[in-house]
Amino acid sequence: MPEFDPLAFHEAAVQTPSHEDVTEMRNLLCETLREHGQEPAVDDAGNVLASRGSGHPHVVLNTHIDTVPPHVEFAREGDVVHGRGSCDAKGPLAALLAAFLAVEPGEGRVTLAITPDEETDSNGAHALDVDADAYVVGEPTDLAACTSARGRFQGTVELTGVGAHAASPGEGVNTVAALEHVLAAVRTFDAERGPDEHPELGPPTLTPTVVSGGDAANRIPDHSELVVDRRTVPPESQDEFFANFEAHVRAAVDESVGVEVLPVDRETPFLEAFDTPDDADVVRALLAAGAGDPCSFGAATEASYFAADAPTVVFGPGVLADDEGPVAHAQREYVRRPDVQRAAEILTDAVDSLV
């Protein structure tokens, strides 16, 4: 049986497209597992699953195979690999796969669970049911053990009024004019109703991002919408935010205007904020193996779904951004090969100590 080379796999993965359809990338992953004596399964949600050992503790290694624009050509310059998905998240995938294949479980079990649609609706992660005692989620953390992350919600404030001729504005109820009060409510929401600042993640944010309203220059608009982006911190939940925010907007807007706050339509729950205690076994194992000190992760991840069930850490090679600007989801996406190798070593030692 050939020895697994995470750097060779990583280069092959970066050169395998998975931004529109993950089939080719999923096939590469499954073929690689079979070449190394494992028999993966693909469930109805498109997740790739493989397990070694049995019993508990059960450690699940998770990341995703889908990628997003822009397209970045594959290139290797010395110890640096450039390309779409090189750090988000094919570098972490290579490291997780290396650990999965290297660990020989004793009484416990290790499972590789790779999802197909983290960058969109997270149907794969939502469908996972693996009875885990701990999760390690692969993302570019610069080899730090990230124990918390903000969540992300998206909603639309819908305003309804009464249309009228603009020559007689008093005859109607102007929803574009009412947006002034909605925007003021956005600015004051957290001070009056939001959660406290988190010690690692800082304060939540609420940002207006898209606005629409009106259909003619000489008509009082009777419908307007404002889209907001919510980056939340524990312990705020989806239901709590939307209920509180609608009440806050309703109080700020004249009663003649109809107000409704609607979450964006999606089949899966939003990615909520999470916070894993630093003394959890999986955290201590990663730190003992050489991971960087516990800190927060700068983006929402599928770790949100898992943290409700078991201690969860986000870890991997690469960075979301460096001193020059964005890296993940950017034209400059890259990862350093020594970091991929080091991540594999840390993960192998940590998981081996747990199972």
Paired residues of 52 in beta bridges: 110
- The predicted pLDDT at position 257 comes to 98
- The predicted pLDDT at position 54 comes to 92
Residue 62 Cα distances to 139, 147, 194, 314, angstroms: 9, 15, 31, 9
Q: For residue 158, which of 224, 257, 253 has the smallest C-alpha distance?
A: 224
The structure tokens listed for 201 are 């993640």
Query: Which architecture does CATH list for 151-263?
Result: 2-Layer Sandwich (3.30)
**Regions of the chain with pLDDT less than 70:** none
- Say how far apart CA 287 and CA 278 lie, in whole Å: 10
Residue with tokens 């409510």: 185
How do strand 75-77 and strand 219-220 relate by DSSP bridges? unpaired
> Dihedral (C-alpha) 11, 47, 44, 282: value to the nearest 10 degrees?
170
* Cα-to-chain-centroid distance, residue 113: 15
- Say how far apart CA 169 and CA 282 lie, in whole Å: 63
The residues, ordered by sequence, that sit 6+ positions from 224 with a Cβ below 8 Å of its Cβ are 158, 159, 161, 175, 176, 178, 179, 211, 212, 213, 214
Q: What is the pLDDT of residues 218-274, one digit of tens each?
A: 999 999 999 999 999 999 999 999 999 999 999 999 999 999 999 998 889 999 999
Contact 233, 150 (CB under 8 A): yes
- On the question of a common fold for 6-149+273-354 and 151-263, the answer reads no
The structure tokens listed for 49 are 């699953």
- The predicted pLDDT at position 243 comes to 97
pTM higher than 0.85: yes
The structure tokens listed for 351 are 């998981």
SS (H, E, C) 90-107: HHHHHHHHHHHHHCCCCC
Q: What is the pLDDT of residues 296-330, one digit of tens each?
A: 998 889 999 999 999 999 999 999 999 999 999 99
166: left (phi over 0), alpha (psi -120 to 50) or beta: alpha
Per domain, the residue ranges of the chain are 6-149+273-354, 151-263
- The predicted pLDDT at position 341 comes to 98
- The predicted pLDDT at position 2 comes to 81
Integer-rounded Cα Rg, in Å, for the chain is 23
CATH fold of 6-149+273-354 reads: Aminopeptidase (3.40.630)
